[in-house]
Amino acid sequence: MKRIRCNSPDETLDLGRRLGVAAFPGAVMALEGDLGAGKTLLARGIGLGLGIPGQVSSPTFLLMMVHDGGRLPLVHADMYRIGSCGDLEQVGLHEFLEGTAVVVVEWADRFSEWLPSDVLWVRMDFVAGCPRSRDITLEASGDVHRVLESCGDG
Ligand SMILES: Nc1ncnc2c1ncn2[C@@H]1O[C@H](COP(=O)(O)OP(=O)(O)O)[C@@H](O)[C@H]1O
Ligand SMILES: [Mg+2]
């Protein structure tokens, strides 16, 4: 487990970039945190680290976006508006899990039972009194994703 404080949007973007550089085929990053915590910004950084052309933005209304053209494909999903496991099946995210893509899921805690057992949990917390700071906790739930925790070393 690794905790890192990011004191600006750029620091969060850079943490995402490091995660994207370190990401491996089949990596799953499960993002957790309230609205505005910075999940989409972190996903954008992951896209930068993977060399995805163009900007990764919020998939809230599309639920899932596949970004090609980088070192590995990036699948960016958002569970915010997904109401049931049936909806989840329709989105088709399961087709990408355990493949060669890097999968980043916002609001992953809404359907955590549905994720593979070995993922990187990224919890993003607001910091009281510091509107531009976030406490970000990286915690692998299995051995495969442990290597990504070191991205929090700066
Ligand atoms: N340290 C920080 N890390 C991430 N975002 C920050 C930070 N400080 C301020 N912000 C702002 O918070 C907002 C985060 O938005 P977004 O990434 O869309 O959040 P989410 O996807 O979690 O709802 C952005 O407007 C960003 O500029
Ligand atoms: Mg978002």
Instruction: With 0.85 as the threshold, say if the pTM is over it.
Output: yes
* pLDDT at res. 154: 67
Residue 40 C-alpha to ligand 2 middle, in angstroms?
4
Residue 140 domain flag: no
Give the residue, out of 40, 41, 46, with the most ligand 1 atoms within 8 A of its beta carbon, to mutate for a pocket test: 41
Percent of the chain with pLDDT over 90: 74
CATH code assigned at 6: 3.40.50.300
- In single-letter form, the type of residue at position 5 comes to R
Question: In angstroms, what is the span from residue 10 Cα to ligand 1's centroid?
Answer: 10
Total number of domains constituting the chain? 1
| Neighbour tally for 36: CB within 10 Å | 12
Taking the centre of ligand 2 as the mean of its atom positions, its distance from the CA of residue 80, in whole angstroms, is 8
151 in a structural domain: no
Q: Does any domain span residue 65?
A: yes
Between CA 94 and CA 3 the distance in angstroms is 29
Structural domain harbouring 26: 2-130
Q: Strands 2-6, 120-127: parallel, antiparallel or unpaired by DSSP? A: unpaired
Nearest ligand 1 atom, CA 106: 21
Q: Which residues contact 128 (CB under 8 A, 6 or more apart)?
A: none
pLDDT at 84: 79
On whether residue 96 sits in a domain, the answer given is yes
- Give the residue with greater pLDDT, 79 vs 73: 73
Q: Is residue 98 part of a domain?
A: yes
